[in-house]
A and B are shown apart, each in its own frame.
Chain A
Amino acid sequence: MSQILSGGEPFLYRGESGVGVLLVHGWTSSPQEMRDLGKHLAGQGHTVLGLRLPGHGTRPADLNRLLWRDWLAAVEDGYHFLENASEKVVAMGLSLGGALALLLAASLPVAGVVAMATPYELPTQPRLRWLRHLLFPMRPLGNLLRFMPKPTVNDYKDPQAYEDHLSYDVFPVQSVPEVGGLLELLRQQLPGMRAPLLLLHAVEDRGVSPDHARSIYARVGSTEKELVWIEDSGHVITVEPSRRRVYDLAAEFVDRELERAP
């Protein structure tokens, strides 16, 4: 039996444009939610790597063991895979992956960042908030309650996309403070960030409200920054009815980076 769930494998496509695009998926999910975007960008001639974050695409219990530094190490790996195969590396991420893409740009020479549906702080989703209040003061409680079911209500516009989405159906409880810790680091690093940034966020995102995108936009140090609102989509904007628009915006961003002198 393979360790990685079928459909949750990372992917690598080779192009000759000179740009390497690193795609980073979100918390509790897998490279699957980035694959169609990856194919689109590969179709434009770019080298594309959709990495798998540690603890993802395997078993929910794996996430309870991990620290946020493990995820950061994995996006560094992604950068290093691409740096030798391309002249410029653009990092793109969804949700937690967006935060990781931003943090990567704070430590390595990333040419640009596309951050999609990215949180600025731990979302105020009721269950997550409850877990946070429970866990930050009393972390050992995570040993008693290892998983929390995800809410059955969701913000998907496309029910099929929800059905097809490969993601753990529980929140690994001990991983929640790790998300919080990573976002704390993000808030520290944002003002020092200089890489060009494109923020994409669904107006109707119920997982990570549009306020998060506004906060990132306001506090990021990059002078070249743009925030584009996506209609007709829930949180996972890469698989929703308006995904084509997301793919086009991401591809245009890469083209602009390509034209820029190195």
Chain B
Amino acid sequence: MKFFRLMVVGLILSLGLVGCATTETPVEETKSVTGTINVYTRDASSGTRGAFEEFIELKDKLTVTAIEVTGNGDMAVKVGEDLNGIGYVSLTTDFAANGITPLSYKGVEATEENVINKSYELARPFEFVTRASGDFVSEDQELVTLAFADFLMNSVEGREVVFAAGGIVDVDAGTAWETLKANHPVLSKDLSAVVLKTGGSTSVEKTLKAALEAFQALTGVQFEMNHTGSSDGFKRTLGSEKDSANAVDIGFASRYFKAEETVNLGAATGVYCMDAIVVVVNDENTLLTDSDKELVFDIFSGAVSTWEEVAK
């Protein structure tokens, strides 16, 4: 019985400890941020990390002391728990719920509105271009491709699934598919034998797949995605590989098409959504509210390693 009594005492003691831990957490007197900066990053295969490093030209230069997290949600939670932390998340993240504050970039607040009107610069477009008119395997193929482009760009339904998959687009400004459908009489045919081929940027895959699946449910059209990189988007629809085995109906790029990529030759082209990344700090960190490329680069490359240096 002695052991049992000891156990009970031990239990009570440990409960007491737990009590201490939970009551002491909010009594942190430190308001200003001091000490080292804890840089948070995603693992190297993350698309968000790829875009972030591209924006601030950080490729291969990330500080070796960075802490790797397992996902976008994990990043939000960890920075929300770490007063000294700084990280980056996609714009669709719930900032308040995780205790993180988004930083503005060059004085522009990170909002969907500012991303769409292009004033927020930590953002990139998801562009597409189709093959030239008359250069499809069949007339139906061309009409179906144009119908899908219309669905992706203009329909409420298309914008909704793209938005749900993380793309930034004004859903309410779209038109109901029911109305748009009338412009595409080809859709009344049996299209189960038509296979839409897409290629180009790998970053667009998530939003595009969502849109293709929604389109398939509405029309019965099959699709085939083979994405290898933004530069192949133009090449495989209108460029050097347009007649090769790699040819696709619609090519994508997660950047603006370059001047030498003559996309106006395509039957349709445009930006169907934007992708944006926000640099975030802990809620209690009031030191930093705005950022620019130089500051973000210095922090993430390790050139600036303490909050005191940032304060200067």
Do A and B interact with each other, yes or no? no
Q: Which residues of A come within 8 Å of B, CB atoms? A: none
